[in-house]
Structure 1
Amino acid sequence: MKSITPGEFARLQGATLIDVREPEELAEVRVDDAVPMPMSTLQEHLGELPEGPLFIMCRSGARSARVTQFLEQQGWDATNIEGGILEWEAEGLPVRRG
């Protein structure tokens, strides 16, 4: 499974970030450009995933790692964001609260 740090992701141009956290988590803190797609409903919405490489984020990196592995098995080019939004914030990257 491929993975990168939030800082490495932030240096990419035009990369698609998929946030697999649940709606109540997204209501607390989120990344503006991330596409919300909760893990609990992912299989129902696979057809809505954009083309090209996908970068998967959750709260701490555990759920996103499982989703990344699943997507790879389905033939997607997916990469896990290590440490999730917790690491994203720790690295000083922008988030929106509330």
Structure 2
Amino acid sequence: MEDVTPQEGQRRVQAGALLVDVREQSEYDEVHAEGAQLLPLSELETRYAELPKDRELVMICRSGARSARAGEFLQGQGYGQVVNLAGGTMAWVNEGLPHVQGQG
């Protein structure tokens, strides 16, 4: 699975890809990339069918490890357009990309 930089991930989202955050609700509430859809890794196996197969998916977590696992799982379920955001939410925020902080 391809790793993309935060800037490339944002570019793909602006072009129509879906940003999928696989962290848990409490982590998401602390800070998340603007526009990210929450689908916790703990629920992925039962809820992955909610994700569209006809759009590219940019997977994001805290630092990139869980989102890589999630992306590999989705590829195994027949999702063809899945990339992992290298560095995760921490890198996204550090790059100054749009994010939401402290909801909850």
Q: TM-score range by the shorter chain?
A: over 0.9
SS in 2 for 1:87: helix
Deviates more, 1:16-25 or 1:72-81: 72-81
RMSD over aligned Cα, in angstroms? 1.0
Q: TM-score, normalised by structure 2?
A: 0.89
SS in 2 for 1:11: helix
65, 68, 84: which one aligns with 2:68: 65
In structure 2, C-alpha distance between the alignment counterparts of 1:10 and 1:49, rounded to whole Å:
18
In structure 1, C-alpha distance between the alignment counterparts of 2:21 and 2:48, rounded to whole Å:
14
Q: Is the contact made by 2:32 and 2:101 (CA closer than 8 Å) also made in structure 1? A: yes
| Pairwise CA distance, 1:20 | 0.2
| Pairwise CA distance, 1:32 | 2.5
Percent identity at matched positions? 46
| Pairwise CA distance, 1:61 | 0.1
Aligned ranges 1:7-46 → 2 under 5 Å: 7-12=7-12, 13-46=15-48
Where does structure 1 differ by over 2 angstroms across 4 or more consecutive aligned residues?
none
In structure 2, C-alpha distance between the alignment counterparts of 1:32 and 1:87, rounded to whole Å:
14
**Which sections of structure 2, spanning at least 5 residues, go unmatched?**
none
**Which sections of structure 1, spanning at least 5 residues, go unmatched?**
none
Q: TM-score, normalised by structure 1?
A: 0.94
Q: Is the contact made by 2:23 and 2:61 (CA closer than 8 Å) also made in structure 1? A: yes
